[in-house]
Amino acid sequence: MSQVYDRVALIGLGLIASSMFWAIKRAGLAGEVTGYARSAETREIARKIGLCDRVCDSAQEAAKGADLVVLCVPVGAMGAVAADIVPVLKPGATVSDVGSVKRHVIEAVSPHIPDGVHFIPAHPLAGTEHSGPESGFAELFDNRWNLLVPVKGSDPDAVARLRALWEGMGANVDEMDADHHDLVLAVTSHAPHLIAYTMVGVADDLRRVTDSEVIKYSAAGFRDFTRIAASDPTMWRDVFLTNKDATLEILGRFTEELFALQRAIRTGDGEQLFDYFTRTRAIRRGIIDAGQDTDAPDFGRGKTTS
């Protein structure tokens, strides 16, 4: 794979930025990668582990002269970070982001983008429950989707270049409209996270009743909820504050279905339960067939409990 950009700047040095750095290095996609994080502690760790060719002490210093600047901070912080770096952006540069919500980021960042600079929002559909500069790894994006959400009038060459970078990092790339993105992600990621947070919260309340049985006998179903519910609180607070309408729409539908299943249990309607679970099992099959998860029992953890 050959170099796509001379200079890439990563603003925010957490899971996604550090994974991007290692993936860019793996394939030689950039001449130099600069990085900046707001806390001295994160910058110190980054320097120690060799994350970025040059760790800068300001976002402006990192972004100055870059051909691509990627905003890798929580969704609620994108606007302020964009406002900070615009004075140093070079003409023809591209600004992108990796935020989990797109309409809000477009509204927060677009007004700051000067003429002659391209703004191409993006969202890699890959992550883990870990965060911070040490959590990244080069393989995070391999065979995962990255959605590009070009704004109206985007320069096709700039979009093609960003696509080449993500493909070079191992991702499959698609383009999507911002509102559609936010609805799809509300179904596939945002609402499931809220449900996991809720389920773990319920179990935590119950723990006080059952002493530590919930943890001691924690089976695969619950453990998977706790993994999701361990995700970064700042990131997920911002997701729900900024993808409000789509998440509420999906949670409304979820509540209706939950009531229907609750009723089936109460009335002993086994047929309805069986049919419902048969339909959902087919969805799992589809995800495995699409190469987006492993068919190994218990996600390949080894021992299976359910």
Compute the least distance from the CB of residue 263 to ligand NAP, in Å: 35
When binding is defined by CB under 6 A, the residue of 15, 95, 171, 196 that contacts ligand NAP is 15
Q: Is 170 in the site for ligand NAP (CB under 6 A)?
A: no
Q: Is 99 in the site for ligand NAP (CB under 6 A)?
A: yes
| C-alpha separations of 263 from 25, 256, 266 in Å | 54, 11, 5
Q: Are 44 and 208 in contact (CB under 8 A)?
A: no
Q: Is 124 in the site for ligand NAP (CB under 6 A)?
A: yes
When binding is defined by CB under 6 A, the residue of 34, 64, 102, 127 that contacts ligand NAP is 127
Q: Are 293 and 145 in contact (CB under 8 A)?
A: no
Compute the least distance from the CB of residue 233 to ligand NAP, in Å: 9
**What are 113's two structure tokens?**
């983008």
Q: Which of residues 230-259 bind ligand NAP (CB under 6 A)?
A: 232, 234-235
DSSP 241-305: HHSHHHHHHHHHHHHHHHHHHHHHHHHT-HHHHHHHHHHHHHHHHHHHHTTSS--SGGGGTSS--
Nearest residue (CB) to ligand NAP, 16 versus 169? 16
Compute the least distance from the CB of residue 62 to ligand NAP, in Å: 12
Give a three-class secondary structure readout of 97-148: ECCCCCHHHHHHHHHHCCCCCEEEEEEECCCCCCCCCCCCCCCCCCCCEEEE
DSSP 47-66: HHHT-SSEE-SSHHHHHTT-
When binding is defined by CB under 6 A, the residue of 96, 131, 146, 242 that contacts ligand NAP is 131
* From 126-134, 153-161, 210-218, 274-282, span contacting ligand NAP (CB under 6 A): 126-134
The binding track of 44-83 with respect to ligand NAP, each residue x by CB under 6 A or -, is: ----------------------------xxxx-x---x--
170: left (phi over 0), alpha (psi -120 to 50) or beta: left
Q: Is 98 in the site for ligand NAP (CB under 6 A)?
A: yes
Q: Is 149 in the site for ligand NAP (CB under 6 A)?
A: no
Binding site for ligand NAP (CB under 6 A): 12-17, 37-39, 42, 72-75, 77, 81, 98-100, 123-124, 127, 131-132, 232, 234-235
